[in-house]
C-alpha cells in the first residue's frame, strides 16, 4: 500500500487565522515532506521531517511550522494565514528512490 | 539557479499518437536520479517513471519511456499511443545523490492535452 492521506481535502480560512493540515502514511518512511503548489508553478518544498528532525527551507522558515508526533503522521501549521497562502498543499513520504504524494489539501484564504 | 527546466508550457496532440516532453537539468553530482510525475485534474501528483544516472538503458514503464541523454543533461518523457486520460500536467524532477534527505527539485511542468 503506497497511500499517503491528507486531511482535509479542502480548507477555507480567514486572513489572520491559523490553519492546520494533516498528513499520514503507512509505509514506515523515515522522511515526510510538505510542498506548496500554485497554478502553473513547480511544487515548492516548504519543509520536511527526517525521523524526528525538522528541516525548513530558508525562505519559508518563519511562515510554516510542523510537527511529527509519530512516524506515520505529520502536520503543517500556518499561524496566521495570508491571501498568498492560497494554494494546494501536498504531503509526500519517500525512500531514496521515490516520493509518494498525497491527494493534497486545497487551501483558500479569504 | 534553476536545477530543472521544462521549456514547453503546453502541448496538444491527437490521441493514439506519440508525444515527447522535454526536460533539462543541472547538477554537479556524478550520480543522480531523474523522475517524471503527473498531476491529474484533481491535483493529485502521481509518480510515473525513474531514470538512474548510472544506467545507460532508458527506463520504460507501460506506455511511458525516457530518452536519457546524459551528455546533454536531458531527460525526455515519451508517451506512446496517447489516450484522452493522459491529459494532465507533467513534472520532471531530479534528486542529487548527495542530496540532503532525498530532496526533489521540480521543473515548472508541461501541460499535455490529448484530443480526440
The pLDDT tens digits for B92-102 are: 999 987 666 77
Nearest-CA neighbor of B77 among B58, B64, B87, B94?
B64
pLDDT-based confidence at A1, cuts 50/70/90?
Answer: low
Nearest-CA neighbor of A42 among B23, B32, B5?
B5
Which candidate in B3, B9, B45 is best for mutational testing of the A interface (most A CBs within 10 A)?
A: B45
How far apart CA B92 and CA B106 sit, in angstroms, is: 6
Contact B22, B36 (CB under 8 A): no
pLDDT-based confidence at A99, cuts 50/70/90?
Answer: confident
- A18: its cell numbers: 491559523
pLDDT-based confidence at B44, cuts 50/70/90?
Answer: confident
pLDDT-based confidence at B1, cuts 50/70/90?
Answer: low
How far apart CA B70 and CA B46 sit, in angstroms, is: 25
Summarize chain A as % helix, strand, coil (round to 5).
5, 55, 40
pLDDT-based confidence at A59, cuts 50/70/90?
Answer: confident
Contact B40, B88 (CB under 8 A): yes
How far apart CA B114 and CA B10 sit, in angstroms, is: 11
- A81: its cell numbers: 494565514
Beta bridge partners of residue A48, listed in sequence order: A33, A55
Greatest alpha-carbon pair distance for chain A in Å reads 39
How far apart CA A10 and CA A30 sit, in angstroms, is: 27
Beta bridge partners of residue B69, listed in sequence order: B74
Cβ burial, residue A73 (10 Å; 0-12/13-18/19+): middle
Do B45 and A101 make contact, defined as CB atoms within 8 angstroms?
A: yes
| Minimal CA separation from B73 to chain A, in Å | 19
How far apart CA B61 and CA B82 sit, in angstroms, is: 14
Average pLDDT score over residue span A49-55: 91
Interface size A-B, in CB pairs within 8 Å, comes to 56
Average pLDDT score over residue span B90-116: 88
| Minimal CA separation from B5 to chain A, in Å | 10
Amino acid at each position: 500500500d503506497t497511500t499517503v492521506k491528507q486531511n482535509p481535502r479542502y480548507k477555507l480560512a480567514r486572513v489572520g487565522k491559523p490553519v492546520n493540515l494533516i498528513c499520514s502514511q503507512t509505509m514506515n518512511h523515515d522522511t515526510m515532506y510538505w510542498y506548496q503548489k500554485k497554478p502553473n508553478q513547480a511544487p515548492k518544498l516548504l519543509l520536511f521531517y527526517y525521523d524526528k528532525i525538522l528541516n525548513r527551507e530558508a525562505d519559508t522558515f518563519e511562515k510554516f511550522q510542523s510537527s511529527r508526533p509519530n512516524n506515520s503522521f505529520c502536520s503543517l501549521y500556518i499561524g496566521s494565514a495570508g491571501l498568498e497562502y492560497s494554494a494546494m498543499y501536498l504531503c509526500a513520504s519517500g525512500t531514496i528512490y521515490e516520493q509518494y504524494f498525497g491527494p493534497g489539501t486545497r487551501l483558500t484564504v479569504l | 539557479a534553476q536545477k530543472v527546466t521544462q521549456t514547453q508550457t503546453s502541448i496538444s496532440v491527437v490521441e493514439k499518437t506519440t508525444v515527447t516532453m522535454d526536460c533539462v537539468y543541472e547538477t554537479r553530482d556524478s550520480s543522480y536520479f531523474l523522475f517524471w510525475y503527473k498531476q491529474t485534474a484533481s491535483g493529485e501528483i502521481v509518480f510515473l517513471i525513474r531514470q538512474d544516472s548510472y544506467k545507460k538503458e532508458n527506463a520504460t514503464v507501460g506506455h511511458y519511456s525516457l530518452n536519457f541523454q546524459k551528455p546533454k543533461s536531458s531527460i525526455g518523457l515519451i508517451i506512446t499511443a496517447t489516450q484522452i486520460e493522459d491529459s494532465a500536467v507533467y513534472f520532471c524532477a531530479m534528486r542529487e545523490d548527495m542530496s540532503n534527505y532525498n530532496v526533489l527539485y521540480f521543473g515548472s511542468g508541461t501541460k499535455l492535452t490529448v484530443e480526440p
